[in-house]
Amino acid sequence: IGPTYGGDRIEGIRYDSPTIGGFLFQASWGEDDVWSTSLRYAGEFSGFRVAAGIGYQHVDIGQLDGGYAIAAGALAATAAGTLAARAENEWSGSLAVMHSASGLFAQGHYAHSEFYSGGDAGIWMVQAGITKNWFGLGNTSVYGEYGKSHDFNSATVATNTSDVKFLGLGAVQQIDAAAMELYIGWRRYEADSSAAVSGSYQELDIVHGGARIRF
C-alpha cells in the first residue's frame, strides 16, 4: 500500500529502511496529504520459505482538489467534484509459505477499506499449489484459488451491500533462458448486490493467458 509505491501517481517522498532480520519498513507521504506505512518480511527456515507484509494508508479528503473519486479501485470523474467514494482508511495483510523441497505452497491476503460515505468493505483470497522444474525450462506452477469480497458498492451509498465470490485454476511456466513467463488461468465469479436492477447477477467465467518478459 502506498501512493508513491505503485498506486496514485503523485508527488511524494518515501523512505525504505535497511533490511534487518528479514524485516523491511517503508513509509511515504504525498501531496494532498496522503500517507502510508508498511512492514514486510522475507526469510527461510526449517526448509520453508516465508514472506509476509502488512500496510496501512490514510487519505485526508479535506486536502484533496476534488473532481475525482476512487471506487472499487477505479479512477472516475464525478460531476459534483465530491470524493465521498474514496477510501479514507485502508489496510491489508498477506502471508505466503512454500516448502522448498516439495514445491508445495499456500498464500493468502486480506484487505479492508473504510469510505468517506460511512460504508466499509473487505476482500480476501487464498491460493495453493505446487511449483517444480519438471521440464528443464524453468519452474512450472499450477494452483487453485478461492476468494470473496463484500460491500464495495457502499463506497457511494453506505447502506449498499454486495457479495462477490470467485474461484479459479491457473498455471505458469517459467522460461529461464528468455526471462519469460507463460501463463493461463480460469476464474468464475458469482455476485449479488442490493443495488442490482434485477436483484441478482449472472455467473461470469473468464479465461486469460499471455506472456511476460522481464528486462
Residue-wise DSSP of 137-156? SS-EEEEEEEEEEE-GGGGT
**pLDDT for the residue 132:** 96
**pLDDT for the residue 68:** 45
Distances (CA, A) of 174 to 11, 137, 205: 36, 7, 25
**pLDDT for the residue 200:** 66
Judged by DSSP in three states, 126 sits in strand
Report the distance separating Cα 81 and Cα 61, nearest Å.
12
Strand ranges, E, within 47-86: 48-59, 68-71, 74-77
**pLDDT for the residue 189:** 94
Q: Residue 189: which H helix or E strand, with range?
A: strand 180-193
Among residues 140, 148, 143, the alpha carbon closest in space to that of 128 is found at 143
Tracing cell 522444474 back to the chain, one arrives at 133
pLDDT in tens, the chain (215 residues): 444 454 556 788 889 999 999 999 999 888 777 889 999 999 999 999 999 999 999 887 654 444 444 443 443 444 333 455 567 889 999 999 999 999 999 999 999 998 877 888 999 999 999 999 999 999 999 999 999 999 888 777 778 888 899 999 999 999 999 999 999 999 999 988 876 655 567 899 999 999 999 88
**pLDDT for the residue 67:** 42
